[in-house]
């Protein structure tokens, strides 16, 4: 089982991956300004107790994902973070997973007794494209962290992280497409490429979600390559040489649903953990 803990809400966009941030999309529906960072009522959620003096958050609720409606390392939360570290220390029975696009701020946000990192904390660095991978991952690998993961979500292009994986410091890589009405394209090839890098370096790979604009191109080695014309609502993309290629969203192509088991098959890592959610 897994849980979510949002001690604060609101964020500021920092890179291309933030363009269609779901926090902004959700807040917009309620006329809320997402750029204002505020403490939530769940601020002390991990240490809240019931009438019997027991923690409401059980060990079985682990892992707990922290700050999914903000960024844990955002500047606006600096004054509150020390309390959060105390709670995380108190709940040593729970694994906390912290996802951030601001990994370069970790040094100034660490608690005094951080040392080489808390055993029950996993830092997850998000890199949506090659530029952000090459900017954030070298810093990520240098930081004192006990458990490291990488997320490419929304994955915006093919990303080569082999040189970071070969460090042996990355425990898991997750990929996923973008959700929402204006979702940008995520290609099956990119996912398979990352999966292959993980297999090569013996790193756990997870395909989290296709997103709303997933492209399955004719890349199969065991199926004949065929041009697939879009059936409805086609999206036309331009390849590097200017040749027009026709794509379409998997969400709008019922005919492509039968391929989902193939995607699962391709992305499965033999002898490695694989999960596929939200499909």
* Residues near ligand SF4 (CB under 6 A): 11, 13-14, 17-18, 21, 23, 70-71, 101
Query: Which residues are within 8 A (CB) of 72 and not within 5 positions of it... i.e. 6 or more apart?
Result: 66, 81, 84, 98, 99, 100
Rounded Cα distance between 43 and 249, Å, is 39
Outline where DSSP puts E strands in 81-162.
Answer: 96-100, 121-126, 147-152
Residue found by looking up tokens 């296709």 in the block: 210
Exposed/middle/buried for 70, CB within 10 Å: 0-12, 13-18, 19+?
buried
- Residue with Cβ nearer ligand SF4 (22 or 274): 22
Exposure pattern of 52-62 as b/e (b: 16+ CB <10 Å)? eeebebeeebb
Q: Which is nearer to ligand SF4, 14 or 219 (CB)?
A: 14
Distance (Å, whole) CA 68 – CA 90: 21
């Amino acid at each position: 089982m897994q849980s979510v803990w949002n001690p604060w809400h609101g964020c500021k966009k920092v890179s291309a991956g933030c363009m269609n941030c779901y926090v902004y999309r959700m807040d917009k529906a309620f006329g809320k300004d997402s750029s204002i960072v505020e403490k939530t009522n769940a601020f002390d959620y991990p240490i809240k107790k019931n009438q019997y003096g027991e923690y409401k958050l059980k060990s079985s609720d682990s892992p707990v994902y922290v700050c999914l409606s903000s960024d844990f390392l955002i500047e606006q939360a600096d004054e509150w973070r020390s309390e959060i570290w105390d709670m995380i220390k108190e709940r040593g029975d729970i694994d906390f997973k912290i996802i951030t696009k601001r990994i370069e701020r970790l040094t100034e946000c660490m608690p005094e007794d951080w040392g080489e990192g808390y055993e029950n904390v996993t830092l997850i660095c998000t890199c949506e494209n090659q530029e952000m991978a090459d900017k954030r991952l070298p810093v990520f690998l240098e930081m004192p962290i006990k458990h490291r993961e990488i997320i490419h979500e929304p994955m915006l292009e093919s990303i080569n992280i082999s040189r970071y994986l070969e460090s042996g410091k990355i425990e898991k890589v997750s990929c996923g497409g973008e959700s929402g009405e204006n979702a940008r394209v995520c290609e099956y090839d990119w996912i398979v490429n990352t999966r292959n890098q993980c297999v090569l370096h013996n790193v756990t790979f997870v395909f989290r979600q296709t997103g709303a604009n997933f492209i399955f191109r004719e890349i199969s080695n065991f199926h004949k390559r065929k041009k697939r014309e879009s059936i409805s609502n086609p999206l036309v993309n331009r390849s590097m040489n200017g040749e027009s290629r026709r794509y379409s969203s998997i969400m709008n192509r019922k005919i492509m649903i039968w391929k989902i088991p193939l995607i699962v098959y391709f992305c499965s890592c033999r002898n490695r953990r694989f999960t596929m959610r939200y499909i």
